[in-house]
Amino acid sequence: MRTVVVTNPPRAEAAAVDELAKHGVATVHEATGRTGYLGPSIRPVHLGSRIAGTAVTVLSWPGDNLMIHVAVEQCRPGDVLVVATTSPSTDGMFGELFATALQYRGVRGLVIDAGVRDVADLHAMGFPVWSAAVSAQGTVKATPGAVNVPVTIGGQPIRPGDAVLADDDGVMCIPRESVADAVTAARAREEKEAATRAAFQKGELGLDRYGLRDRLPGMGIEYVEYGAS
């Protein structure tokens, strides 16, 4: 692994990232052709937050949070810290002290493919975190890694400066060049879903709205009156 700290990577445009935060992960994931989702193993540590920000990426050795300390200095307002490890680990690499340092720098949250701790404090501070685990197990500060290199979480590549969108449904990454397009697509999908919601509120069935009823026979689905042989 290259032990490198990349400074000042290009970041997704801030206004587009802020627009992105108006839309949920499920909506943007669908609107972008089901791309970029980090998968169900990256979970919100506390519910009720939705953030979008630009990624500062960290590649750490498992059980070692040295490079998170290095990365804090690279963070700017509007960033999200994204931490991957070189092999799987659930150790609690991050807690309220790191969150305090990141909040001071205007960082919007943390996404980490490892463990976090001090979760009651993180909750009280209002610092949103998505992680693979919660663990009191502490870590060392010993092994070089990298900051602002491309990382992979849940099979999804995340480059420094890409947009990260996270809410109660999980986390997704949008390439920094594609954020404005993703916002446009998300708006269109929300308009379509608003029309569907209004129809469902009046009792229309998905079977009819989506043209499914006519397709059921072709799929071999038949209706049988209860008790009929």
Binds ligand OAA by CB under 6 A, chosen from 74, 89, 90, 139: 139
Binds ligand OAA by CB under 6 A, chosen from 19, 96, 113, 162: 96
Residue 118 within binding range of ligand OAA, rule CB under 6 A: yes
Instruction: Please check if 18 is assigned to a binding site.
Output: no
Residue 94 within binding range of ligand OAA, rule CB under 6 A: yes
Instruction: Please check if 118 is assigned to a binding site.
Output: yes
40 Cα distance to chain centroid: 10
**Piece of 4-12, 39-47, 93-101, 161-169 that binds ligand OAA (CB under 6 A):** 93-101
In the numeric block, which tokens belong to residue 192?
């379509």
Binds ligand OAA by CB under 6 A, chosen from 23, 29, 117, 189: 117
Neighbour-count burial of 94, counting CB atoms closer than 10 A to its CB (0-12 exposed, 13-18 middle, 19+ buried): buried
Angle ∠(193,197,199) on CA atoms, nearest 5:
115
Query: Which CB, 138 or 157, lies closer to Mg ion?
Result: 138
Return d(Cα 221, Cα 83) in angstroms, integer.
47
Which secondary-structure segment (H or E) carries 18?
A: helix 14-20
Residue 67 within binding range of ligand OAA, rule CB under 6 A: no
Return d(Cα 200, Cα 216) in angstroms, integer.
20
**Piece of 27-35, 60-68, 117-125, 197-205 that binds Mg ion (CB under 5 A):** 117-125
State the sign of the Cα–Cα–Cα–Cα dihedral 105, 60, 50, 180.
positive
**Piece of 37-45, 91-99, 159-167, 168-176 that binds ligand OAA (CB under 6 A):** 91-99
In the numeric block, which tokens belong to residue 196?
């569907």
Give me the residues that bind Mg ion (CB under 5 A), please: 95, 118
Known binding residues for Mg(2+): 118
